Amino acid sequence: MKVIIDDKEFEAEYGEYILDVARRNGIHIPTLCHSDTVPGQGSCRLCIVEVYERGKNKVVVSCLYPITGEIKVYTNSEKIHRMRRNIIRLLAARAPGSEYIKKLKEEYGIPEETRFIVDEKEKCVLCGLCVKACEKLGSMAISTVNRGATKKVAPPFEEPPVDCIGCASCAHVCPTGAIEVRECKGKRVIWNRTFELLKCTSCGRYFITREQYEYMKNRLGIDMKELLCDRCRQKSTAEKLVSLYKKLLV
């Protein structure tokens, strides 16, 4: 079906989200809480767009709005630009320490404000991606705790989480770099807990915690005959495919 984005016509699949169509066609819509690995958030509201559909117009979050008919979309109209500036101001007050939000402030010409800032070092915007990633893995070692101004992401009782496997998936999906991960001399420290790292049997690079290895092997049933990092696994797969292709040519 047809969809018009910023006065340009594109093709879209029924039920496809506006953000996905825009990205596929090189149209930039800023996002913060969106992740392809953990979809369905829509909490930051940064990806808002203006939609004209069935004679009515409305503001929607593009990452969660499915296309079910011919619509017009404006990603940066005067109305959207104004609303997005206010959203960025609120995000900056919540997490002034985030470099990504600082760049957004520069991009949208937002001056420095200090009257609403509680903690200048805070980076977390409470998007929930880290919690969802942990839940998806099945660890559920962290969650949002407290309410109102004291709401934050933390392990139970803010103690080093027993259920954490040290995979750092929470840190990888965090859009603002709020979750600190330190690695040194075969150790990884996250959520105030120290994990032993195992080496790749091919290149010798430390890349996985012992707890993560045991979790993948025992609970997920993943066959790990060789302990290979992503780069070496891809290389090994490519070499096997080349070898198989050569045999087929013989």
The CATH number covering residue 10 comes to: 3.10.20.740
**29 is a domain residue:** yes
**247 is a domain residue:** no
**226 is a domain residue:** yes
Q: How far apart are CA 199 and CA 71, in angstroms?
A: 52
State whether 8 and 91 are in the same domain: yes
**234 is a domain residue:** yes
Per-position pLDDT tens, the chain of length 250: 899 999 999 999 999 999 999 999 999 999 999 988 887 788 999 999 999 998 899 999 999 999 999 999 999 999 999 999 999 999 998 999 999 999 999 999 999 876 666 788 899 999 999 999 999 988 899 999 998 878 999 999 999 999 999 999 999 999 999 999 999 999 999 999 999 999 999 999 999 999 999 988 887 677 667 788 888 888 878 776 767 665 666 5
Residue 226, domain extent: 161-240
Phi, psi torsion values for 35, nearest 5 degrees: -145, 135
Q: How many independent structural domains does the chain possess?
A: 2
**How many Cβ atoms are within 10 Å of 222's Cβ, its own excluded?**
10
- Of 19, 12, 36, the closest CA to residue 75 belongs to 19
**227 is a domain residue:** yes
Q: How far apart are CA 190 and CA 55, in angstroms?
A: 51
**145 is a domain residue:** no
